[in-house]
Amino acid sequence: MTLTSDKDQSSFAPGSAIFSRRGTNADQISANYFNFIIGMTLCWGFLVNWQMVQSIPPETILEYGFWPFIIAYFACCFAGIYLFNSSSNPWVSFVGYNLVVVPFGCIINIVVAPYDPDIVMRAVETTGFITLLMMVLGTIYPAFFFSIQRGLMVALLLTIAFELFASFFLSKSFHIMDWIVAAVFCGYIGLDWARAQQVPKTVDNAIDCAAALYMDIINLFLRILRIMGRR
């Protein structure tokens, strides 16, 4: 087998870069250790988010205005995505992962503030259960998730476009869109877990796969929270 760099196909889209890696010149680890690192990296991100919600008053996040926050949010996220996509050093990728975790944590902090803590905890528990279920299904039925990959991408792009249109031109939101987006991210969790099992088992790839899964899981959580909050 010809060894190639596992970063040959880096791009800004996490899935297109991370999950297309097939060769590596880095030391490989066992599948169990690989999945353990994914799990621990995810737990680290969730712990950071929990600490942010507990210790940072939501109003301070927008203290300097909405647009400065949005610019900083996207700058930080894109910098993080670039780092864990382009670097083959696990520590650099971990820094990139945290550059995504922190701005996501700010969004979570703002979103959960109006909700009853019991609803938030139920949303966390539901998200955790669905995540584990989709990972199991992604392990058992990887071919199914690979077959719906294009459909998930089209569905996500269409829902984003529709929600932007509804927000700017109709000045309203449609509750059904939360269910659709939640279903799409359920599919992405199963797909990204299945794809993660196909890449070379290195520490760096484990961190990068965790970063992609983290974004899937947080987006699912935010939609579940909105659905439960309306109830």
Q: What percent of the chain has pLDDT over 70?
A: 92
Predicted local confidence at residue 167, as pLDDT: 80
pTM above 0.85, yes or no: yes
Residue extents of the structural domains in the chain: 14-230
When pLDDT is averaged across residues 82-110 and rounded to a whole number, the result is: 95
Q: Count other Cβ atoms within 10 Å, centred on residue 125.
A: 11
- Tell me the average pLDDT of the chain: 89
Whole-angstrom distance, CA of residue 168 vs CA of residue 143: 38
DSSP secondary structure code for residue 114 in this structure: T
2 — pLDDT class (breaks 50, 70, 90): very low
pLDDT grade, residue 168 (50/70/90)?
Answer: confident
- pLDDT tens figures, 151-164: 999 999 999 898 88
Kindly tell me if the per-residue pLDDT of 10 is higher than 90: no
Q: What is the pLDDT of residue 231?
A: 66
DSSP per-residue string spanning 20-70: T----SSPP--HHHHHHHHHHHHHHHHHHHHHHHHHS-HHHHTTT-HHHHH
Question: How many CB atoms within 10 Å of residue 160?
Answer: 13
C-alpha to C-alpha distance for 62 and 103, rounded to whole angstroms: 12
Classified as helix, coil or strand, 198 is coil
- pLDDT above 80 for 22: no
Per-residue pLDDT tens digits for 111-133:
999 999 999 999 999 999 999 99
Average pLDDT over residues 192-214: 95
Amino acid symbol at 31: A
Give the whole-angstrom CA distance, residue 90 versus residue 164.
Answer: 36
Confidence check: pLDDT of 9 > 80: no
